[in-house]
Chains A and B, each alone.
Chain A
Amino acid sequence: MSSDRWLALSFLAISVLIVFVWIPLDTESGLIEKERRKFVIGDALAPTITGAIIALGAFLTWLRPGRGHTISSKNVIWILLLLTIFIISLVIVRYAGPVSAMGFVDGYRPLRATPPWSYIGFLLGGTAMIGGLTSAASRRLSIRGFAVGFAASLIIALLYDLPFDDLLLPPNGDV
């Protein structure tokens, strides 16, 4: 069976789950409701039609499968590699600042708009993200990639932080 037919079957299954499981469990009103003796469209109708549209697309893909497009095991490995880089770098973005300010009684929150504290998470996480992605793309871990990452992160941080007082760099709006 061609990869497009597997894709069609997957989306057919997804549309069945959407229409018969997700929508009934996760919407308050039904397809059509009666309010003050008038019929009105309920919150479930549009998502149900959308589920049917996805099923129609899956059916048409099954009818006219193409060739040559598929997600291979190499693609899955690439996705996992990217996901690892994102998890590491975004965890650094989120927690590097608070961890570095652990010695302060009030913690990171009062310092989150004060350089250099406000930059720590973004610079370290940004460096890890750019360096990691550059290394993944060029298949070798290079110090130069991380150096470029640090310089680029610094420039981006300054680009947003210096001219605009009201903008917060990641993660300073969450802490």
Chain B
Amino acid sequence: MGLWEHIVAGVLAVLLSEPLLGVPVVILMVSGGFLLGITVGATPGLAGPMAMAIALPILISIFGFSNDALLPVLGFLIGIMKGATVGGAVPAILFNTPGTPDAYMTTLDGYPMAQKGEAKRALRIAHFSSASGDTFSDIVLVVCAPFLAILVERYLDLPEKTALLILSLAFIASVIGGSVGKGIISMGLGLLAAMIATGEDFYPRLTMGQSNLAEGIPIAAAVLGVLILGEVFKALEDLHRQSGSNASPEITPGKGSALSRADLRRLFPYVGRSALIGTCIGALPGVGSTLAATLGYTTAKRRYIASKPDYAPDFGDGAAEGIAATEAANSSVSGANLIPVLSLGIPGNAAAVFLILAMDSIGGFNPGPSVFRLGGGIGDSVMNPEMVMVFGIFTSMFVANALNWTIGGIFMRSVGFMARIPKERLLPIVLLLTLTAIYVQETSMAAIWMTVFFGFLGYGMRRVGMSPLPFVIAFILGQNLEATARQAFAATGADPFFLFNSPIALAFILMSSGVVIYNLRKSAP
């Protein structure tokens, strides 16, 4: 079966999925996830990954662990991921509070525009830019991911794959956060947690004889604990320390004109440039949408200063171009960050972690270079079900884009009220929801205690300025890294220098050292 048959089968898997309420279930789930994502994004204190974490066990309970479950579940999660980025702009513009961290730059021009009575116009600009960046990024994903996977599959054997995993971890540990050393400690702790009870001997290693650890640390307990509980603990403490509210007054969207062709022509270069920046950054594991938004904004600001007419507002005083540059950049990360997920099996950010978690929990789909192999390695006449699934995922992303272009703008202008929900009430509810989600998955109070433990670890990491993301990504990749290294060692006849004998593997190892040294020199005081 050729590529075209796989594409058609993937598209049909979405469009002809089992109907629910008269709508194909995958489309229904993408829509539900997208609307929930906008709502979550519009709620300061909540973020897309939180909603994905809470939704995952509920979705698995509804759809089960069969192959048919994969597309509806992933569709819902992808919908949340995309919706949250769009929704983050709403409180940034109306309340001067970013709904998601990557919308901070939107406040700089969005809120001043709203103060001038142009809130609705600012929201329209944010939506147009966000939808454009997202669509561009998805197109790049569809074009690039298969080629990258084919290159990896063709040229990389076990030693090279081991070296590639080491390079990815070194890159993530070095570029996230402000300290290379802390990034490496965070990665080391994640690898250590992944190694508990996962060896090949009869005795489960590093368990200290504890029966609760004999099955290893539940992936949900470690990931949700560090990412969600750690963030909730820190946010609650920040509220505890705040002496009083200094929130900016709310501005209602009110009435406003639609964007004219002249507006779009003026904004288009800023949107295009930021979409390119966001897509390039999104494709790199570990570099998140906040950096993309910052880079998009600063690049646009430099260009704007050089070409701005005298009567136009400056960046920071309500320039439409500032909103366009920020929103296009942060939204274009969401498609591109699936490039390393689908072609290499390496998650680049927190949202991608939950997509991998869903694939891992449901089974039947192992993201990595083999998913793009025609015939699935069995024969040319056979359909590769994983490749069909990938094209189903791509179709779901374009369904979410279509929703974004059609109803996204209207919906995002109606969820401004979410920012009024007090965080001190909302966050404990999110925490209980997360713990309940873990319990229904693991059915053990020990898993809840482990989650709380990892929550404190995540809190501590944040307080000492250590990013928790290298921990989470290392925890997810740890077992795979050890298994690949063991196989490579055996396949090379127990050669202890298997990472240095092939030129590609050696290049990856040198690049790993290079990225650490480069970032270390960059962070010199």
Contact indicator A27/B199 (Cβ below 8 Å): yes
Contact across chains for B187 and A43 when beta carbons are under 8 A apart: no
Q: Which residue of B lies closest to A167 (CB)?
A: B440
- Binary per-residue interface labels of chain B (412-439) against chain A in the complex, 1 for a CB within 8 Å, 0 otherwise: 0000000000011101110111011001
Residue of A nearest to B202 (CB): A28
* Contact pattern, A 33-56, Cβ under 8 Å of B = 1, otherwise 0: 000001111111011001101101
- Which residues of B sit under 8 angstroms from A18, Cβ to Cβ? 192
Q: In the complex, A28 Cα to B511 Cα: how many Å?
A: 34
Question: With an 8 A cutoff between CB atoms, is A119 at the interface?
Answer: no
456-479 of chain B: CB within 8 A of chain A:
456, 459-460, 463-465
Instruction: Answer whether residue B152 sits at the interface, using C-beta atoms and an 8 A cutoff.
Output: no
Type the 1/0 row for B220-238, where 1 means its CB is closer than 8 Å to any CB of A.
Answer: 0000000000000100110
Report the minimal beta-carbon distance from A168 to chain B, rounded to whole angstroms: 6
The listed residue (B61, B192, B463) touching A166 by CB distance below 8 A is B61
Quick one: which of B435, B449, B456 has the most chain A CB within 10 A?
B435
Taking a contact as CB atoms under 8 Å apart, the answer to whether A137 and B443 are in contact is no
- Asked if B180 and A64 sit within 8 Å, CB to CB, the answer is yes
Is the CB of A20 closer than 8 A to any CB of chain B? Answer: no
A94 contacts the other chain (CB 8 A): yes
A90 and B236 within 8 A (CB): no
Write out the residue numbers on chain A whose beta carbons fall within 8 Å of the beta carbon of B429.
130, 148, 152, 156
- Please measure, in the bound complex, the distance between the C-alpha atom of A141 and the C-alpha atom of B192, giving whole angstroms: 40
Shortest Cβ distance from A152 into chain B, in angstroms? Answer: 5
Closest to A38 in B: B494
Structural contact, A61 and B428, CB atoms closer than 8 A = no
How many angstroms between the C-alpha atoms of A57 and B448 in the bound complex?
A: 30
- CB contacts under 8 Å to A, within B51-82, are 58, 61-62
A57–B425 CB distance below 8 A: no
User: With contacts A7-B464, A66-B465 known, is A78 near B237, CB below 8 A?
Assistant: yes
Q: In the complex, what's the smallest C-beta–C-beta distance from B77 to chain A, in angstroms?
A: 18
Question: B506 contacts the other chain (Cβ, under 8 Å)?
Answer: no
Q: How far is the CB of A82 from chain B (nearest CB, A)?
A: 6
* A61 → B minimal CB distance (Å): 3
A interface residues, how many (CB within 8 angstroms): 78
Q: Counting CB contacts under 8 A, is B184 at the interface?
A: yes
User: Are B449's CB and A90's CB within 8 A?
Assistant: yes
> Which residues of the other chain, B, contact A58 by a CB distance below 8 angstroms?
181, 185
Interchain CA distance A82-B435 in the complex, whole Å: 15
Complex partner residue of B443 from A82, A163, A173, CB under 8 angstroms: A173
- Closest CB-CB distance, A25 to chain B, in whole Å? 9
Chain A: minimal CB distance from B187 (Å): 7
Partner of B181, one of A29, A60, A129, A138: A60
Q: Which residues of B (201-229) have their CB < 8 Å from a CB of A?
A: 201-203, 205-208
Expressed in whole angstroms, the minimum distance between the Cβ of B180 and any Cβ of chain A is: 6
Q: Does A100 contact B (CB under 8 A)?
A: no
CB-nearest residue of chain B relative to A126?
B432
CB contacts (< 8 Å) of B449 on chain A: these are: 90
A22 CB to nearest B CB, Å: 7
A sample of 29 cross-chain residue pairs with beta-carbon separation below 8 angstroms, ordered by A number, consists of: A11-B185, A15-B188, A18-B192, A26-B206, A27-B201, A28-B203, A38-B490, A43-B200, A43-B205, A46-B485, A51-B188, A53-B191, A57-B181, A58-B181, A60-B184, A82-B236, A82-B456, A129-B432, A130-B432, A134-B424, A136-B240, A137-B239, A139-B240, A149-B428, A152-B429, A152-B432, A168-B443, A170-B439, A170-B445
Which residues of B does A touch, CB under 8 Å? 58, 61-62, 173, 178-189, 191-192, 195, 199-203, 205-208, 233, 236-237, 239-241, 423-425, 427-429, 431-433, 435-436, 439-440, 443-445, 448-449, 452, 456, 459-460, 463-465, 482, 485-486, 489-490, 494, 516, 520, 523-525
Residues of A within 8 A of B (CB): 3-4, 7-8, 11, 15, 18, 22-23, 26-29, 38-44, 46-47, 50-51, 53-54, 56-64, 66, 68-71, 74-75, 78-79, 82-83, 86, 90, 93-94, 122, 126, 129-130, 133-134, 136-139, 145, 148-149, 152-153, 156, 159-160, 163-164, 166-171, 173-174
New contact pairs (10) apart from A57-B181, A71-B464, CB-CB < 8 Å: A3-B464, A43-B200, A51-B188, A54-B188, A54-B192, A58-B181, A79-B459, A138-B424, A148-B425, A160-B436
